[in-house]
Structure formats: C-alpha cells, structure tokens
A and B are shown apart, each in its own frame.
Chain A
C-alpha cells in the first residue's frame, strides 16, 4: 500500500467541507475578496501607483484629487503610491516570517512529540521559556540586538512565533503517534523521518493552517508596530507603520495621513482574521487565540 492511499479519503472530504462552509460564511467571502484586492495591489504596485512612492514634490499635503487619489504627505509624496508599496512589504513580511516560524516550529514540535524523553524535555524547556513572553516584546528585543533592516525584522518576527507552532505540532504529534497507522508504518520498518513527515505531519495540518493564518495577522500588526516605533525596515522603504509615524505630526492639517495607512492595515488584518475564523470552523479546530 502506498502512503498516499492512507491519506486519500480525508482530503476530498476536507475540500468539500471548505467549499460548503465558505458558501455560508459572508465574512470569509468578504475577507477573501479584500485580501485578493490587496495582493493584486501589491503585485501590480509599480503600475497602479500614480507616482514613485519616494518622489517628493512641491504639492505638499494636498487633499484627495485625481492626481493624488489619497492625497500627499508633508514632503509632497503620493500617499496611494506609498500605501501600495507598503502593501508589498507588509504582505511579504507577514507571509515570510510565518513560513520561517512554521518550518522551524513545526519541525521542533514534531521531533519533541515523536521522540519524547530528553529531546522533548530540552526542546520544551526552551519553548516554555519563550512562551512565557509576549511575542511582540521578543521581537522588539531581537531588533534591539540585531539592529533594524528588512532581514533583521524578518528574523526577529519569525523567531518570536516559533513557540506557537512548536506547541501546536507537538500536541498533534503526541496524539497521532498512538494511531494505528503509525504503528503499522513502524512495523513495516519505515524510518522515523518518513513516519514523521509523511504519516504524522499531513494529518496534523488543520491546526497548523489555522495557527499560521492567525500568526500572519499578528505578524503584519507586529511589523507595522515596529516600523511605527522606528524599529522597522528602514527610513526609505515605505511601510504602513512608517507612513503613519511620518504623518503623525501633520494629522491636524492632513487627516488622510492618519486615516488611510491605518485603514489599510486594519482591512488586511480583518480579512485574514475572517479567513482564519472560517478555516477554524471548516477544519474543525478547537478555539484558541
């Protein structure tokens, strides 16, 4: 029997359940559409932008117009162009940090849960220690240590999320390793690595997917907060947090500087939260935060 045959029955059921629940879930439909629009905006940012995001002009703090649909900032830079380019950074950081955290965290969790004993003890001691801290504080401290910049921000946010994935993967592994098909695989003499990644992992994906979705929204909020505090990517890359920080002093004259970048963050995070909620329901994952 092939490994694929073992998993085969579960997958079509899951897919149809996803489709069925989505048809009923207005919020998730809205979330998917809004998120898709932002993704399109990010991918085609260079073509959709009215101008270069960093081009200054004498047209300072001008209100909403055809030339500048969302107005301009104190240096005459076009706000829409800056927000579109900021979308690229936010989505890229949100997805890449969660992917890195997922790969490291899930691997640690699988190993800890499967092998148990001292390996579990060592890994979990570390995970518990990290778990004792707010993710954002960990990220702030890591940026303090590594310095600012795109790569450092990605490293900081990814490391901060590792514990969440490790915990989810470990608890799934602990229950799955008692399953008969794992026993069967062991009896057939399959290697531990093969059992872990081909037999256990595919059956543990539901809670991992839900955790990943939630984490992306927190990662985007985290990056925006870091940028807002001056601990983000760098002063030349327009990110949502930085645009808000730059515009803060001019809000009384130019409300759009305070409203639109924040609105962009909120819409994306809200969409992802709606999608996460739908996935949690559809994949039947127990409520957690």
Chain B
C-alpha cells in the first residue's frame, strides 16, 4: 500500500510538473507572443520595455523558466499585473476556499440525489419510474450549467426570494449564511455530475444483480433491502467510483463557469477575470491550481478503490 501510495504520489507530482512547464512555455512560444499582447495595454514601447525588465521577460526563456520554477516551489507565483498588484498566491488562497466549498456542496447534493435515483431506477427497471429517472438524467446532462444557474436565480432568488442570488459568505460567519449562498450555484454545478453518476449506478447495479452471489443471497432468503445495501451496492461501487473520478472534470469546469454567474470570486472567477484583463501571472497561477485540484481529486479516487474493495491490492 505505502509503495503504491508513494508511486502514485510521485506520478501526480510528475504530471503537475509537466503541466506547470507546459503552461509556462505555451504562453511564450505561441506565435503572436501572447504576453506582448497582454502587455500592450501597459503603454508605449518604453513602458513595455520597463515592464518586461521588471517581470524578467528580457532574460532568456530558460533562465525565466528556472527562476519561475524556483519561486513557485517557494509558493511565489508572481504578482498580478492589474489593479493593486496583489501577489498571485494571495489571490488564489482567498479564492480557493470558495471554490472548494462550492465543489463540496455540489458533490454532496449530486450524490444525495444520484444514489437513490440510480438504485430506484435499477430495481424498478423498465417501469415508468425508471423512464422518468432516465429522462431526468438526460435533461441534467444536456442543460448548460450557466443556463440552469440563470433559471435558478429567476425562480428561487428573484421570484420566490428564498435564497440569495449572488455572493459568498465564509463559513466563519456561520454555517447557514455560508450554505445559503452556495445552494443555488451548487445545484447548477452538480446537476450534470449527478446525472452521470445516477446513470452509472443504474447500469452497474443491473450488471451486479445478474451475478451468481445475488442469486445465492436471494436463495438465503435475504430481503430486497439487505440484498441491495449489503451485496449489490458495494460491488457496484467500483465502476461508479471510476466514473466519479472522471466526472470531477465536470464539477471543476462547472464551478469555473457558474462562479461567474453568481459573482463568487473563486478560482473560476479569478481565472476568467485574469484572461479578460490579460493578467498572465494570474492566469498561469489559476490554471495551475485548478489542475492541481483535479490531479489530487483523481489521486484520492484511486486510493478510495482500496478502501471500498479490499480485494484490490496495490503492489
């Protein structure tokens, strides 16, 4: 287990390094010099030259790379070119709890809906209930998250006024104020995720229900509920977990878009504002952290396999 853990962790670090390197060079070798375009707003040629010197852009690319890399290892991602020239690390540390909170609530809501929906539609296969769940899942998959966000705001914030339409309140100011601001964005982010998991649970369960040990369990006289929770579900979890890992991409992409609708200044908002302001240190930092988030969550999923299914041995 520990050998596997170390190897897997090492793999994740290599991926992160490759990503950081790719992100760094992409901005610099692409024809048209995107950085020049970003600096074009700085003023005349003298100002641009001064800016380049200040940012170390007048040095050779390799020197820049190693300097940037060394600073990054110390946790220094540079400073924003825009506004009050805040350090990028600070911007990201402020944004991170917002995105993590959003992703967490989205995940909880999505799983809370998907698991029962998947089980019900598998046990009542080909009934009206199953058809309804499957249709709902299709709708969830096909609805653009930002549109769902707008609809939720129209209904629950503007008309019914049950929940706030925009903003974020940190957890330190109370659980309910924090949760209240996250419910609508989390539903918008989690819907597609939930739809994928519900479909996967259904098909994994249908597969498992055909197995011999399920027949044995029935022959032993186990009740439907015991069979489902004790035998079928644990065995169906492996493919479901794999899909959860892949579908994390949807949660992260969703958060990036939906944060912009609800004016939550999380990583997604920081990333998009960075792009629109041509603030490349911020863009670089945000892409890096979003990627790290994704790589880590996938690592977590890999480790979960062993917890869920003791038959899986890491070697």
Contact = CB atoms under 8 A, between A and B. Distances in A.
Given A137-B252, A145-B26, A270-B139, A229 B150 contact: no
B291 interface: yes
B147 A145 contact: no
Interface of B: 15, 18-19, 22-23, 26-27, 30, 32, 34, 37, 138-139, 141-147, 150-151, 153-154, 158, 196, 200, 203, 243, 246-250, 252-253, 256-257, 260-261, 271-272, 274-276, 283, 287, 290-291, 294-295, 298
B196 A289 contact: yes
15 contacts: A129-B18, A129-B19, A134-B294, A137-B291, A217-B142, A228-B146, A229-B272, A230-B276, A244-B147, A251-B153, A255-B154, A258-B150, A269-B141, A270-B138, A287-B203
A19 interface: no
Given A251-B150, A289-B243, A132 B34 contact: no
Contacts of A217: 142
Interface residues of A, number: 42
A140 B256 contact: yes
A225 B146 contact: yes
Nearest to B261: A248
A274 interface: yes
Given A132-B294, A266-B147, A140 B271 contact: yes
A136 B272 CA distance: 13
Contact of A132 (B158, B260, B291): B291
A134 B26 contact: no
A289 B27 contact: no
B294 A143 contact: no
Contacts of B153: 251
Q: Which 3 A-B pairs have the closest CB atoms?
A: A262-B147, A134-B249, A136-B253
Given A129-B18, A132-B294, A133-B294, A274 B151 contact: no
Q: Main secondary structure on chain A at its contact with chain B?
A: helix
Contacts of A140: 256, 271-272, 275
A228 B203 CA distance: 34
A230 B269 CA distance: 12
Contacts of A229: 257, 260, 272
Nearest to A258: B150
Nearest to B283: A144
Given A129-B18, A145-B34, A230-B276, A135 B150 contact: no
A289 B142 contact: no
Given A230-B276, A244-B150, A262-B150, A270 B287 contact: no
B176 to A, nearest CB: 26
B71 to A, nearest CB: 21
A265 interface: yes
Contacts of B247: 289
Given A132-B295, A146-B32, A229-B272, 6 more contacts: A134-B250, A134-B252, A225-B145, A231-B275, A248-B261, A269-B144
B272 A132 contact: no
A221 interface: yes
Interface string A149-165: 00000000000000000
A141 interface: yes
A133 B19 contact: yes
A231 B274 CA distance: 12
Contact of A258 (B154, B196, B287): B154
Nearest to B141: A273
Nearest to B35: A145
A196 to B, nearest CB: 28
Nearest to B158: A252
Contact of A146 (B30, B243, B290): B30
A50 interface: no
Given A258-B151, A289-B196, A129 B22 contact: yes
